[in-house]
Structures are given as structure tokens and as C-alpha cells.
Amino acid sequence: MKRIKVRELLTSPVPGSEVLVKGWVRTKRGNKNIVFIAVNDGSTINNIQVVADASAFSEQLLKDITTGACIAVNGRLVESQGQGQAVEINASSIELYGKSDAELYPLQKKGHSMEFLRENAHLRFRTNTFGAVFRIRHSMAFAIHKYFNDKGFFYLHTPVITGSDCEGAGEMFHVTTLDLKNPPLNDAGGIDYSADFFGKETNLTVSGQLEGELGALALGEIYTFGPTFRAENSNTPRHLAEFWMIEPEMAFYDIRDNMDLAEDFVKYLIKYALENCREDLEFLNNMIDKELLARLRFVLENSFVRISYTEAVAILSAADRKWDYPVGWGRDLQAEHERYLVEEHFKKPVILTDYPRDIKAFYMKQNDDGKTVKAMDVLFPGIGEIIGGSQREEDYNKLLERIREMKLPEKDMWWYLDTRRFGTAPHSGFGLGFERLMLFVTGMSNIRDVIPFPRTPRNAEF
């Protein structure tokens, strides 16, 4: 007999039919005569109730069916006598796949702390909260591909190992096969990377953008969606050392087109979640964040505010507020400033543009004022920066000048510069942090709880 998933059983039940269900025991209760077992198979947040007549099963088997155990149940689907579920299974046979020692299984009690569940990330998928989060994560990944595919964008795979530092922040994990205890040295006494695996110094990518631009300047509109790595030592609820980023890159888009796409894209994803992840979102709204659904709808229904960095600095300077970090033109905005703009001043998502060029990456298109660049950051309530992007500098000479000013390795960037030498074009793009989006969509408060296996400073367990 073919196994049926609980989700299917509950969405289109056929009372009277014989079914086979397989899953993990969430709870067991009952008495000498009758036993009720709640089984979850991960396909939905809801459990199926299995009812077993105690006289029809061995005492030992019923004893071994404890929280966490895995079972297969054959039986008849019937309308439930009890409250809380429409249908249940009258078990005719139960096979025990795997026992779960009640003394040792970590997920016995209800209401574990998020910290405890992080330490048990190998088992936390079996909780309602993490089941919901990771089903939503899947749906968001699927929706991202659907959005771009429907728009005619091409999914471009950019390398995980690269020799360049897109953001120029030097926050890279080195990739090497050299013997760290005894590396080959060059004449100057430094490490001789020409003897390394790739014959040069390499690292894990911080962004697929530079390679993405190469794709966009031939295929028109592309997007990347892959893991990116930053060795920044920030232990915050918003930073991971390994996170997933979606980076669309579009030929012939200016900064305004770029903002329009970013707003449309994020709204599409939120709408998709509301339409396709209803039960999981309702659970999170009840258990994690009572304002979640209202906030998702609010973002859908309102236009994002668009102002320049210079205007933002004026608002922040005029605010009656003591900042931990000073506000001033030319200084980068901190999370406290971004959140003030979004959560208190405008009470809406905000897109900030035209940042001082000295606090932004080399590739951003310079404005005529000689001071600012066509950057855009999208700021979200509860999150801060969710998207960073820009129109790109397409002028070969201006780009080269900037690379030299910033003392970037010009020699290694020949291929990037070539796009500006041969058929350059106005183009733009942005990066959406997948886990920042997940924080927003799920209402979870720590980024470690929206990625299955978080990588953060001093933590690479599992």
C-alpha cells in the first residue's frame, strides 16, 4: 500500500478509506483501553490523530510508542469523535520503525528556548515552529525562481570560489590547500600562492555580483541565488558568516527601474507567502509574533518611501533622540538610524539612495555632484537593511579611476573592466539577503533560526 502524506489526508480526506501514514510521534495519551497518538510527517504543521484499541496491540509496542518515535500506521480514516480534528485513523496495524528513548530525547517538554533548540538544530526540524519556518523557507526559494522565470530572467550560477572581493571590505574566508604549518614562501618572505591549488590567492565569494554583471551584459537580465560568505566578526541577530543572497542584475535598468523591481519583487514574495503558507504563518502569528500577519499585509498595501541619504541625515539630525553612533553627512548609517527612519519616522519600508561615495563600493555609478553614488538600500521594519544595490558605473575611465583611488587590485579585475571596454551599457542590480527576508516573513527574531544550520563566529556545529 502506498503511503499518503498527512497534508493530503487532511486537505482532501476520504472517510472510510484505508490509509497508510508514516511519521514521528508528537504525543501519546489515553488509558488501558484506548490510545491516542498524534503523528506528524512534516508535510504540514497539523498532526493526524491515530486511535488504537489497546486490546488489539501488544503492550510492549504501545509502550515503545513515545514522543519522537517513528511509526507506520495502517488503518481506516474516519470522522473524528473528538474535538480538534475532522478526521482520525482507526489503526489496524502499527509498525515501529524507530524507538525514541523517553529519558534521552531532547524534545520532550513543551516550550523550549530558542537557544536550546539551536543547540539541538539536528532535531529542531521536528518542532512546530521550525517545521513552519523551513516549509516557508522552501516556498520563498521556489517563489524567487518563479518570479524571475516568469519575468524572463535567467538563473546564473556564479562561482563560490573566487579570487575577487566584490564589496572590497576584506571580509573573506581564504580557500587553500597549502600546508598551514609549513607554507611555501616567496622571495619577499610572504606565502607563495602560485604554489597553491589555483595558482593564486582565492576565497569564498562575498557576492556573485561581479560575475552576474558579465551575464547581464550579454543575457540581458539574470539573477543569482546562492550561498555567500563573510568573515565579519559580528555577533548580531542579523548577521551570518554564511548566508544566501539573491542578486538580480539587469542591462538597461537605471536606479529608478532598479528600485521598482526591488519593491515589486519583495511584495511578490510576501504575497506568495500569504497565499501559499497560510497555516504556517498563522501558527507563527499566534506563537511567535502577534503582529506578523498585520505587518505583512501592511507592507503589501503601502508604497515604499524613497528618499536620499542626504534627506535621511537631515531627518536623523533633527530627531529628538540620543544616538549611540553620531549622525553626520559622510558617516554610514547604523541599525539604530535605519530603524528609526522605518519604524518611527515613516512607519513604512524606506529606500535610501545617493549615498556618499566614500562609504560605498567601487562599482557604484557616480553622480554628477562628485560626492555621491547611485546606491540604494531598502530598509524594513524590524530588520533594517534587507536589500543593498545600485546602478553600476558603466564608464570605463571613471571605473578605472575609482579602482585606482581605492587601491583595488586592478590587474586582477581585467575581466570586469573588459565589459566597460567592449559594448558597455547602463545597468543595475541589487542583493536581497535571503535570511533577512525570512526574518521578516516569519517574524522570527534571530537570523540563526531561519537557516537550517547557521554559521556564525565560533559556531560551525552540524
User: Interface residues with Mg ion (CB under 5 A)?
Assistant: 388
68 or 388, CB closer to Mg ion?
388
175 or 386, CB closer to Mg ion?
386
Q: How many residues form the binding site for ligand 4AD (CB under 6 A)?
A: 23
Greatest alpha-carbon pair distance for the chain in Å reads: 85
For residue 243, state whether it binds ligand 4AD (rule: CB under 6 A).
yes
Residues 208-237, interacting with ligand 4AD (CB under 6 A): 209, 230, 232
Residues 401-430, interacting with ligand 4AD (CB under 6 A): 429-430
Minimum distance between the CB of residue 454 and ligand 4AD, rounded to whole angstroms? 10
Residues 166-195, interacting with ligand 4AD (CB under 6 A): 166-167
75 or 226, CB closer to ligand 4AD?
226
Q: Which three cell numbers stand for residue 197?
A: 591549488
Asked if residues 438 and 133 have their Cβ atoms less than 8 Å apart, the reply is yes
Selected binder of ligand 4AD within 387, 403, 438, 439 (CB under 6 A):
387
**415-453: string of b/e by CB count within 10 Å (b at 16+)?**
ebeebbeeebebbbbbbbbbbbbbbbbbbbeebbbbbee
Selected binder of ligand 4AD within 436, 438, 442, 450 (CB under 6 A):
436
CA-based torsion, 361, 362, 364, 369: positive or negative = positive
What's the CA gap between 160 and 9, in Å, rounded? 41
Selected binder of ligand 4AD within 381, 433, 443, 454 (CB under 6 A):
433
Minimum distance between the CB of residue 307 and Mg ion, rounded to whole angstroms? 17
What's the CA gap between 247 and 199, in Å, rounded? 29
Strand ranges, E, within 67-152: 70-79, 87-98
Which of ligand 4AD, Mg ion, none does 239 bind, CB closer than 5 to 8 A by kind? ligand 4AD
208 or 388, CB closer to Mg ion?
388
39 or 352, CB closer to ligand 4AD?
352
Residues 346-385, interacting with ligand 4AD (CB under 6 A): 385
Size (the chain), residues: 462
Give the position of cell 614562501.
185
Minimum distance between the CB of residue 377 and Mg ion, rounded to whole angstroms? 6
DSSP secondary structure string for all residues of 278-304: HHHHHHHHHHT-TTHHHHHHHHHHSPP
DSSP one-letter code for 32: S
Q: Which residue is nearest to Mg ion (CB)?
A: 388
23 or 388, CB closer to Mg ion?
388
388 or 454, CB closer to Mg ion?
388
Which of Mg ion, ligand 4AD, none does 242 bind, CB closer than 5 to 8 A by kind? none
Q: Which three cell numbers stand for residue 402?
A: 575609482
Which of ligand 4AD, Mg ion, none does 167 bind, CB closer than 5 to 8 A by kind? ligand 4AD
283 or 434, CB closer to ligand 4AD?
434
228: three-class secondary structure by DSSP: strand
Selected binder of ligand 4AD within 135, 239, 337, 427 (CB under 6 A):
239
* Residue span 247-276 as binding mask against ligand 4AD, x where in contact by CB under 6 A, dash where not: x-----------------------------
Q: From the DSSP assignment, how many helices (H) and strands (E) are in the chain?
A: 13, 16
Selected binder of ligand 4AD within 431, 443, 444, 448 (CB under 6 A):
431
40 or 224, CB closer to ligand 4AD?
224
Helix (H) or strand (E) holding 427: strand 427-433
35 or 245, CB closer to ligand 4AD?
245
Which of ligand 4AD, Mg ion, none does 443 bind, CB closer than 5 to 8 A by kind? none
**Angle between the 128-150 and 278-287 helix axes, to the nearest 10 degrees?**
130
Task: Give CA separation, 303 vs 277, 297, 440, in Å.
Answer: 23, 12, 17
- Number of Cβ atoms within 10 Å of the Cβ of 188: 7
Task: Give CA separation, 378 vs 130, 209, 353, 434, in Å.
Answer: 27, 17, 9, 14
Q: Catalog residues that contact ligand 4AD under the rule CB under 6 A.
A: 166-167, 207, 209, 230, 232, 239-240, 243, 245, 247, 385-390, 429-431, 433, 435-436
